[in-house]
Homo-oligomer: A and B are copies of this chain.
């Protein structure tokens, strides 16, 4: 069938989509979401078909920018359109939909087609949903990780040991990575760290690190920094390490499911060549893992998956019931990390977690981990290493804590009664910081003055909320009025919840 090209000034997000009139589609025998092949001269492309009865006339084909560029099409040109087969990978998605287990070849074909843009959003969603519904076993997870890693870029570095760390997240103010990377690198071990930005939290490691240095490096720049310093702190988003992951995450978001959590993490670790990995699993009330048993189960899965991927994995189960340190929000957290590594300020939980995880990692490579950590911490070489990394990534290596600016607008929250801080609600703190402008506004955040167990007097200041604009400050104030992130009570009070019949029903 010959059709006249109409260029549609819209981008379908990687997937090649063409739009045809209902009538022509029927004539061709292809339905909406089926596939058509478009030929222009010697060039050919297969696209997902959408049909319409009004936007595109009979005899026309609407072509989005991606395909127009690929086939060098101009509006008004004639192309030859024929019915095409669905990609073979859809058979594998159907197999998973019937509860079957997929092997490496099948998973690789799916991932290849996802990355090449050969699958429609419906098909990708069906795959992710089927993985969620039927579960993904450890074999499938490992094979999928391998497939996701192989379809992306990878970092090749010649080092005796390449190590990495990962946190499953969920703890506000967790600036551990900003301290672990310089400690490990200062101890002479390579740690090519990539991090994510905040999704539902106040700040991700990439957001924090960006306060001190550029983090949008490409793979070559990242490699150069690692070669010079043994470490780096870059944003994983532009590196194209496991591009299928970003596409899967997009459909997981509205459904709040993440069957691909483990493959997503492990594929990226494999891509940077990690041989030793510590996974930080915070647990407890308000953390992602509610109980220590749940945390142990996840740890076992990480370790088993690592063994299938030639990555030696240890896990650190950590207290996740309250924020780490006193500062929440990108700029405030970067400041606290800098103060701590300069040993200007003592923040015991931040220091303990960073040193603990660094020691595990170094021990895995055969060193006396705790001793090595103490050495580079106390002799200032961890701080020096952080400044080297800042310099190599293009930041100011002389940066001081007081140089870091945060929101000009703020308000204090005070204790309404005397007592002890019984609980700090991680989720409420994150919501409050986000209302104040985090993670987009790096200067937004929360400065805590009290942690769980601390005594407070009535009217005493509990925390300050910072914002970059008066408008967002107002939003944060409104949120603050209805949410109490700190529960003050008597340390002898045992009954803390009262569940009524209505709540149970």
Contact indicator B129/A121 (Cβ below 8 Å)? no
Interface-centre pick from A10, A121, A256 (highest chain B CB count, 10 A): A10
Chain A stretch 250-292: residues in CB contact (< 8 A) with chain B: 250-251, 253-257
Does A73 make an interface contact (CB < 8 A)? no
Contact indicator B97/A11 (Cβ below 8 Å)? no
Q: Which of B8, B199, B253 contacts A33 (CB 8 A)?
A: B253
Does A29 make an interface contact (CB < 8 A)? yes
Stretch of A130-138, A364-372, A418-426 at the chain-chain interface: A130-138
Does A494 make an interface contact (CB < 8 A)? no
Q: A122-B254, A123-B254, A254-B120 are known contacts. Are A129 and B11 too (CB-CB below 8 A)?
A: no
**Chain B nearest Cβ from A13, distance in angstroms:** 7
Contact indicator B11/A54 (Cβ below 8 Å)? yes
| Bound-complex Cα distance A74 to B254 (A) | 30
| Bound-complex Cα distance A50 to B97 (A) | 27
Look across to chain B and name the residue whose beta carbon is closest to the beta carbon of A434: B29
Which of chain B's residues have a CB closer than 8 A to the CB of A27? 440
Chain A stretch 3-23: residues in CB contact (< 8 A) with chain B: 8-11, 13, 19
Does A142 make an interface contact (CB < 8 A)? no
| Bound-complex Cα distance A412 to B412 (A) | 90
| Bound-complex Cα distance A317 to B434 (A) | 62
Contact indicator A55/B9 (Cβ below 8 Å)? yes
Stretch of A86-94, A175-183, A304-312 at the chain-chain interface: A86-94
**Chain B nearest Cβ from A455, distance in angstroms:** 36
**Chain B nearest Cβ from A407, distance in angstroms:** 15
Contact indicator B255/A126 (Cβ below 8 Å)? yes
Which of chain B's residues have a CB closer than 8 A to the CB of A50? 13
Does A31 make an interface contact (CB < 8 A)? yes
Contact indicator A133/B99 (Cβ below 8 Å)? yes
| Bound-complex Cα distance A86 to B256 (A) | 11
Does A34 make an interface contact (CB < 8 A)? yes
Look across to chain B and name the residue whose beta carbon is closest to the beta carbon of A441: B27
| Bound-complex Cα distance A19 to B10 (A) | 10
Which of chain B's residues have a CB closer than 8 A to the CB of A54? 11
| Bound-complex Cα distance A34 to B55 (A) | 26
**Chain B nearest Cβ from A68, distance in angstroms:** 13
| Bound-complex Cα distance A251 to B199 (A) | 29
Look across to chain B and name the residue whose beta carbon is closest to the beta carbon of A250: B32
Interface-centre pick from A27, A33, A253, A254 (highest chain B CB count, 10 A): A254
Look across to chain B and name the residue whose beta carbon is closest to the beta carbon of A256: B94
Does A70 make an interface contact (CB < 8 A)? no
Contact indicator A97/B9 (Cβ below 8 Å)? no
Does A52 make an interface contact (CB < 8 A)? yes
| Bound-complex Cα distance A209 to B99 (A) | 41
| Bound-complex Cα distance A11 to B53 (A) | 10
Which of chain B's residues have a CB closer than 8 A to the CB of A90? 254-255
Q: Which of B55, B126, B254, B256 contacts A129 (CB 8 A)?
A: B126
Which of chain B's residues have a CB closer than 8 A to the CB of A99? 133
Does A447 make an interface contact (CB < 8 A)? no
Contact indicator B257/A133 (Cβ below 8 Å)? no
Look across to chain B and name the residue whose beta carbon is closest to the beta carbon of A91: B256
Which of chain B's residues have a CB closer than 8 A to the CB of A94? 255-257
Interface-centre pick from A9, A62, A126 (highest chain B CB count, 10 A): A126
Q: Which of B11, B29, B52, B434 contacts A52 (CB 8 A)?
A: B11
| Bound-complex Cα distance A90 to B256 (A) | 10
Contact indicator B11/A55 (Cβ below 8 Å)? yes
Q: Which of B33, B93, B132 contacts A250 (CB 8 A)?
A: B33
Apart from A97-B255, A129-B129, 12 more pairs, CB < 8 Å: A10-B55, A13-B52, A26-B440, A32-B250, A33-B251, A34-B253, A86-B254, A94-B257, A97-B257, A122-B254, A125-B126, A129-B130
Can you spell out 11 A-B residue pairs with CB atoms less than 8 angstroms apart? A11-B52, A11-B54, A13-B52, A29-B434, A31-B253, A34-B253, A90-B254, A97-B255, A122-B251, A126-B129, A133-B134
Q: What are the 4 closest A-B residue pairs judged by CB atoms, nearest first? A: A133-B133, A125-B125, A129-B129, A33-B254
